[in-house]
């Protein structure tokens, strides 16, 4: 089951335009980082990368924009087992949901797309009569390379 590919770039900015959400210099920088990065970024990393595109971007703007993106269902917030500190990680929400696995030994983060996961969500919606808006499956354990060594 392969990794989901990045959607076409500019998608986040397009969403903002469609809904008449104001586009600013700073938001453009932040959205561009979220659109082009392949990794899971925390707020501090996102700030640093965005500042490379627009040096004026402030920490509080990053947090305010993350909140906005969350409210619009455009990004997912992850803990990744809090492998480094107490903060959160962010990633664009793609067409297809995926699972996150974090290796407790080497810290590697893996992603996995599964039909069974989709079926499970369907079961929750049906059996619990629960309308799912966001779902997060995070697994901690030992990756193939680290199994054996504790």
Partner DNA sequence: GTCTTAGATGCGACTCATTTGCAACTGGAA
Partner DNA sequence: TTCCAGTTGCAAATGAGTCGCATCTAAGAC
Binding site for a second copy (CB under 8 A): 1, 79, 81, 99, 101, 103-104, 110, 112, 114, 116-117, 119-121, 123-124, 127-144, 147
User: Strand, helix or coil at 66?
Assistant: helix
Residue (26 or 103) nearer to DNA, CB? 26
Q: Which does 121 bind (CB under 5 to 8 A by kind): DNA, Zn ion, a second copy, none?
A: a second copy
Q: Is 15 in the site for DNA (CB under 7 A)?
A: no
Decide: is 79 part of the binding site for Mn ion (CB under 5 A): yes
Residue 99 pairs in a beta bridge with 112
Cβ atoms of residues 74 and 92 within 8 Å? yes
User: What's the rounded Cα separation, in Å, for the pair 36 and 6?
Assistant: 8
Contacts of 142 (CB under 8 A, 6+ apart): 103, 104, 105, 150
How many whole angstroms separate alpha carbon 123 and alpha carbon 106? 34
Point out which span in 36-44, 65-73, 78-86, 135-143 binds Zn ion (CB under 5 A). 135-143
Q: Please select the residue that binds DNA; options are 8, 19, 20, 133, rule is CB under 7 A.
A: 20
Q: Which residues bind Zn ion (CB under 5 A)?
A: 103, 105-106, 108, 143, 146
């Amino acid at each position: 089951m392969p990794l989901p590919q990045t959607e076409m770039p500019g998608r986040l900015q397009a969403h903002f335009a469609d809904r008449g959400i104001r586009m600013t210099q700073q938001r453009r920088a932040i959205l561009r980082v979220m659109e082009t990065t392949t990794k899971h970024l925390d707020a501090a990393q996102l700030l640093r990368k965005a500042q490379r595109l627009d040096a004026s971007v402030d920490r509080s703007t990053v947090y305010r924009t993350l909140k906005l993106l969350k409210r619009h269902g455009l990004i997912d917030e992850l803990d990744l087992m809090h492998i480094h500190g107490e903060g959160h990680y962010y990633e664009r929400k793609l067409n297809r949901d995926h699972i996150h696995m974090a290796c407790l030994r080497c810290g590697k983060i893996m992603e996995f797309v599964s039909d069974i996961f989709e079926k499970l969500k369907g079961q929750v919606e049906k059996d619990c009569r629960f309308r799912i808006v966001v779902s997060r499956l995070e697994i901690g354990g030992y990756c193939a390379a680290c199994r054996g060594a504790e």
